[in-house]
Amino acid sequence: DQQVKQNSPSLSVQEGRISILNCDYTNSMFDYFLWYKKYPAEGPTFLISISSIKDKNEDGRFTVFLNKSAKHLSLHIVPSQPGDSAVYFCAARVFGNEKLTFGTGTRLTIIP
Amino acid sequence: NAGVTQTPKFQVLKTGQSMTLQCAQDMNHNSMYWYRQDPGMGLRLIYYSASEGTTDKGEVPNGYNVSRLNKREFSLRLESAAPSQTSVYFCASRDSTAVNYGYTFGSGTRLTVV
């Protein structure tokens, strides 16, 4: 039972354009959501997060949007740069639970 | 540099062999985790330790044991390796007082069981 779903295994975007990565979830008990970025042969690195009491959080070129009614979140990267080419995982947490549940990842390729 | 250190980076085991994956963090974090990453499956939690002296099962604990040796170190043991345990293993730690809940991951151990 995949509670966090990333339905697009891959995405290609031209450099300078907007990249939009999507994530859907099924567990209404999730109260905190995170995005991680992973380069080959490295561990994932934390990128940005959002609490369920907000609908938007911004950090430089990265913005995460949360639509609770649709159980959907998205990560926007503007403008996209070659160094953004990586695999992006979304993750979610139930309040009070130590465990993060991860999606299967989306491979983003930025085309110069 | 501060962070999470995993050893070894690569390992090949024969079915039935045992081994221990080592993990150490120098950020004084309370919580530590072991995840495995498989193609098309994302990262799945094997075991975690919320504090020194405590461990709990995650989503896929069968075939594994863990030890939280002290605040810095959290090891993962495979007693009798099976081909289904071929995976990339990531250790992570977290400051349980941090607001953003972000984990710090190690660079991973790529394990192949033949």
End-to-end Cα distance, chain B: 35
Q: Which residues of B touch A98 (CB under 8 A)?
A: 31, 33, 48, 50, 56
Q: Do the Cβ atoms of A32 and B48 come within 8 Å?
A: no
Please determine, for residue B100, whether its predicted confidence score (pLDDT) is greater than 90. no
**Residue B112's pLDDT band (cuts 50, 70, 90):** very high
Of A49-53, B37-41, B57-61, B91-95, the one with minimum mean pLDDT is B37-41
CA distance B57 to B10: 25
Please state, rounded to an integer, the average pLDDT across all residues of chain B.
93
d(CA A26, CA A3): 5
Model pLDDT, residue B1: 61
Q: How confident is the model at residue B40 (pLDDT cuts 50, 70, 90)?
A: confident
Contact A43 B90 (CB under 8 A): yes
Please indicate if any CB of chain A lies within 8 Å of the CB of B38: no
Higher pLDDT, A1 or B74: B74
Strands A106-111 and A10-14: parallel
| Mean pLDDT value across residues A43-48 | 94
Q: What is the pLDDT of residues A46-79, one digit of tens each?
A: 999 999 999 999 999 999 999 999 999 999 999 9
Which region holds residue A98: left if phi is over 0, alpha if psi is between -120 and 50, else beta? alpha
Q: Search chain A and give the residue with CA nearest B102.
A: A46
Q: For B28-39, what is the mean pLDDT?
A: 94
How much helix, strand and coil, in percent to the nearest 5, is found in chain B?
5, 50, 45
Q: Check whether A99 has a pLDDT greater than 70.
A: yes
Cβ contact (<8 Å) for B42 and A42?
Answer: no
* Cβ contact, residue pair A32, B108, below 8 Å: no
- pLDDT score for A64: 98
- Name residues whose C-beta falls within 8 Å of residue B22's C-beta, 6 or more positions apart in sequence: B6, B7, B73, B75
